Amino acid sequence: RRYGGSLSQKPDSNFVSFPGAVKSVFTNTLKFEMPSEYPAMPTYRVIDQHGVAIDPTFEPDLSDDEVIKLYRDMLTVSIMDIIMFDAQRQGRISFYMVSSGEEAACVGSASALTPGDVVFCQYREQGVFQQRGFSMKEFMGQLFANKNDAGMGRNMPVHYGSTRLNIHSISSPLGTQLPHAAGAAYALKIQRMQNPTADPRIAVVYFGEGAASEGDFHAALNIAATRSCPVVFVCRNNGYSISTPALEQYRGDGIASRGLGYGIDTVRVDGNDLWAVRGAMTKAREMALQDGGKPVLLECLSYRVGHHSTSDDSFAYRAKVEVEDWKRRDNPISRLRKWMEAKGTWDDGKEKEARDSIRRQILKAFNEAEREKKPPIRALFEDVYEELTPDLHAQMKQLKSHLDKYPDEYDHTAHS
Amino acid sequence: MLPTHTPRVLRTASRQSLKTAASKSQVFARSSRASPRPQSQSRSHSYSQPYRAYSSAAAPTARLNIPIDYATTPLLAHTARTALNNPELPPSITRGGGGGSSGGGLTKRMNLYQAINDAMSTALAEDESVLLFGEDVAFGGVFRCSMNLKDTYGGDRVFNTPLSEQGIMGFAIGLAAEGMRPIAEIQFADYVYPAFDQLVNEAARFRYRDGTNKRHVGGLTTRMPCGAVGHGAMYHSQSPEALFTHIPGLRVVIPRSPIQAKGLLLASIRCNDPVVFLEPKVLYRAAVEQVPVDAYELPLSKAEVLKSGADITIVSYGQPLYLCMNAIRQAEQDLKGAGKNGHFSVELIDLRTIYPWDKETVLASVRKTGRCIVVHESMVNAGVGAEVAATIQEDAETFVRLEAPVQRVAGWSTHMPLSFEKFVLPDVARIYDAIKTTMNY
């Protein structure tokens, strides 16, 4: 009996049938492959920083209104960032993370997906939530951990999640969601094999270039490739992981160069260019569904304009002028705005109206969320298991009698 | 580079040797061959020289530490009648014909790995969302637990993964989160640590952090061979169950026999919470009993009283239960008349589910006997025994009935050294001594 994976060496073959690398040709030259001898992978761009299309074949595949919707999504995220960052500084929420500089990478890539596609995020993807239809009430409910929070007030702010929108809940450990996405993609593939009438779906996972140093990155790309999973890995390479610059994170050509090593089709794009990101994701989605499914890696280059989080002062490790330069020179929002203005679909008046109405909408949701009660205290015991265990039931009773015994020591009026 | 690579090489090499040994059915034959007893010697047909045991041999003079005779132990059902005489089995299994079941009343001789194979086959057959994967599962697994499953259910549902425990676990979590019921295999419990982050931070917390979004990874079952095997040394012997019992959100299950393995594994796979299912690898081939052929479940979080008694409660799980049984037999003979009413008898409880565990059964027993010993292989510090002992003293009704301190007979606080295994593990002599000490307190 011969097994599927078995190989035979043909006599005098000029390549080796070693099972570990079946297409390797013999050479009589001892030569090490040097990363420095390979050019950096190019960065795909559609629109330059002046808003001018540099890809002559480029035709927008969206109506003017649809483009404006995406633009407003990016604006919404950036305005919410300013308001919530200040709210944290005033002590009204405990924590926040801005996405400035990465609005296009998120909104642009999410816009190329279908609602059924399953998304996993790291934490700096508010644009994905906004583009897919997360409501301002949902954002604020989570940020204030009030009773409208799907996470029942159990998670830190910015750890959003939505079953309705097929976005998995965010967790803090970095990189863990990467193999989840591979597994979810395999589930989608198997489910479609078992029910061929189901719509084709992919899984998409976002992560930063720092998270790509975790073992889970390696595990995920390798298993996704070997199991042929329809998943798109989207790396937001913004140059920093908290204080660590990318050059202390890796010595290779970014994250994109690694994709090839796993046998994964890869592209690097300008993450400040909504059209480039959208175009790349549209194609990546199509490729991920080809040949029964396969993974694709997309590296979006951008710059983390904001601090890492509200617990970080980034000027302790990078110059303010560097940040100001990035803000002025290139910005995903202003780039799309310039393109729209050149096309005649946007102007200063529309800009002002959009900013004012978005700001009003955010502040309204903010004020409502701040006044809302917190989830009931019993929620702290629920959902550890499907059912409350006898232990948890007993502990819940213990806490209740403790609260009854010391009513002046705790404020339960805040909870519903 | 060399120093950092060396342990990996060693690990691969030792793993490989165990794999090979296991697949040639020698791993467990070796330990029995090491026995000085005549019937064991006669089994060593494939070696010209008698196998030199590292640590599992008993002294020729041993009265207590004699090898477990799995062929006669009362912990295994040696006849169909005993197998079916189990009140936890549904009537369709015990009586036959009930509910239109074809195999009702029928049993088949199976060892532990065959029972696990049988449970997984049932799960794969009954629910197409069940998948089975891990390192080397496709050809049947290094312990043969997944034999023929790939051929029967297809390579899309039963498959090998790359050699990456964190990848296996993360992949399984993603599958479960999208409604599948993955059975992930970690080749040895000793190698679960790379997957620890995924189990602790992700699998265990998934439902909790998702709240009203209601997603969970309850379909996930993680199987791993655990426990000492005679010559597994540091990385093929571990029992990490206590680490998992400190993680809210996980269920931790350890079966003691083929019947238990089949029923508990099926219950674990069907359970909507993530389950860590530890399989005592020394029992894979050694423990053989009559197992009902139809599918059945045994309850999770329910301990089983294996033997009732009046004077001491012994709480254990997994393989040490066999040692407890031998120690009890000898102690009951030697301490005749030392107990209440001029008799002496020991109650033996199998926890089966280590967390969330069945406190009620244990507390009720200790209230009756007034004495308790907990036995497990893993080290004594912060082990399962610590939790059981603390719970006993914390329960006011049980505390006042205690007539002796709760004793823990467990592994020493060391790693598992190859040549010293028999001195590390709790054995019949140590359990026997604990019984005597507790009675004489």
Interchain CB contact of B128 with A (< 8 Å): yes
Distance between B399 CA and the closest CA of chain A, angstroms: 18
Taking only the tens place, the pLDDT of each residue in B149-164 is 999 999 999 999 999 9
ipTM surpassing 0.90: yes
Domain boundary among B244, B260, B292: B292
Same domain, B274 and B378: no
B23 domain residue, yes or no: no
pLDDT confidence tier of residue B55, bands split at 50, 70 and 90: low
Same domain, B225 and B94: yes
Active site amino acids of B: 165, 236
CB contact under 8 A, A386 and B179: no
CB contact under 8 A, B167 and A379: no
Taking only the tens place, the pLDDT of each residue in B6-37 is 334 334 444 444 444 444 344 433 333 333 33
Residues of chain A with pLDDT under 50: none
pLDDT confidence tier of residue B98, bands split at 50, 70 and 90: very low
B75 domain residue, yes or no: no
Supply the pLDDT for residue B17.
Answer: 45
Mean pLDDT on B102-111: 86
Q: Which of B154, B99, B96 is nearest to B121 (CA)?
A: B154
Q: Which chain A residues have a beta carbon less than 8 Å from that of B360?
A: 390
Residue B425 domain boundaries = 304-439
Q: In CATH, what number is assigned to the domain containing residue B401?
A: 3.40.50.920
Whether the pLDDT of residue B197 is over 50: the answer is yes
Cα dist. B33→A298, B30, B39, B69 in Å? 58, 5, 9, 13
Mean pLDDT on B291-295: 96
Whether the pLDDT of residue B176 is over 70: the answer is yes
Percentage of residues in chain B having pLDDT higher than 70: 85
Supply the pLDDT for residue A41.
Answer: 98
* Binding-face residues of B in 159-178 toward A, CB within 8 A: 159, 161-162, 164, 166-178
Supply the pLDDT for residue B272.
Answer: 98
* Binding-face residues of B in 187-206 toward A, CB within 8 A: 194, 197-198, 201-202, 205
Taking only the tens place, the pLDDT of each residue in B62-94 is 999 999 999 999 999 999 999 999 999 999 998
Supply the pLDDT for residue A1.
Answer: 65
Domain boundary among B249, B265, B292: B292
Q: Which chain B residues have a beta carbon less than 8 Å from that of A386?
A: 207, 216, 218, 272-273
Same domain, B116 and B193: yes
CB contact under 8 A, B174 and A183: yes
CB contact under 8 A, A169 and B210: yes
B50 domain residue, yes or no: no
B224 domain residue, yes or no: yes
Mean pLDDT on B58-64: 88
Same domain, B334 and B201: no
B222 domain residue, yes or no: yes
pLDDT confidence tier of residue B323, bands split at 50, 70 and 90: very high
- The secondary structure of chain B, three-state, reads CHHHHHHHHHHHHHHHHHHHHHHCCCHHHHHHHCCCCHHHHCCCCCCCCCCCCCCCCCCCCCCCCCCCCCCCCCCCCCCHHHHHCCCCCCHHHHCCCHHHCCCCCCEEEEEHHHHHHHHHHHHHHHCCCEEEEECCCCCCCCCCCCCCHHHHHCCCCEEECCCCHHHHHHHHHHHHHCCCEEEEECCCHHHCHHHHHHHHHHHCCHHHHHHHHCCCCCCCEEEEEECCCCCCHHHCCCCCHHHHHCCCCCEEECCCCHHHHHHHHHHHHHCCCCEEEEEECCHHHHCEEEEECCCCCCCCCCCEEEECCCCEEEEECCCHHHHHHHHHHHHHHHCCCCCHHHCCCEEEEECCEEECCCHHHHHHHHHHHCCEEEEEEEECCCCHHHHHHHHHHHCHHHHCCCCCCCEEEEECCCCCCHHHHHHHCCCHHHHHHHHHHHHHC
CB contact under 8 A, B176 and A188: no
Same domain, B207 and B163: yes
Same domain, B128 and B252: yes
The number of domains in chain B is 2
* Binding-face residues of B in 391-410 toward A, CB within 8 A: none
Supply the pLDDT for residue B102.
Answer: 58
Same domain, B259 and B162: yes
Same domain, B333 and B412: yes
Same domain, B348 and B382: yes
Supply the pLDDT for residue B104.
Answer: 75
| Global confidence as pTM | 0.93
Q: Supply angle C-alpha A303, A307, A312, rounded to 5.
A: 145
B375 domain residue, yes or no: yes
B388 domain residue, yes or no: yes
Q: Which chain B residues have a beta carbon less than 8 Å from that of A185?
A: 174
**Cα gap A168→B126, rounded to integer Å:** 28
Same domain, B240 and B336: no
Same domain, B114 and B238: yes
Best of B173, B212, B220 to substitute, by most chain A Cβ atoms within 10 angstroms, is B212
Supply the pLDDT for residue A16.
Answer: 64
B20 domain residue, yes or no: no
**Cα gap B163→A226, rounded to integer Å:** 11
Nearest to A169 among B167, B194, B213 (CB): B213
Q: Which chain A residues have a beta carbon less than 8 Å from that of B356?
A: 385, 389-391
CB contact under 8 A, B177 and A226: no
CB contact under 8 A, B178 and A184: yes
The two structure tokens encoding residue B37: 């007893």
Q: In CATH, what number is assigned to the domain containing residue B198?
A: 3.40.50.970
Same domain, B269 and B240: yes
Domain boundary among B269, B292, B315: B292
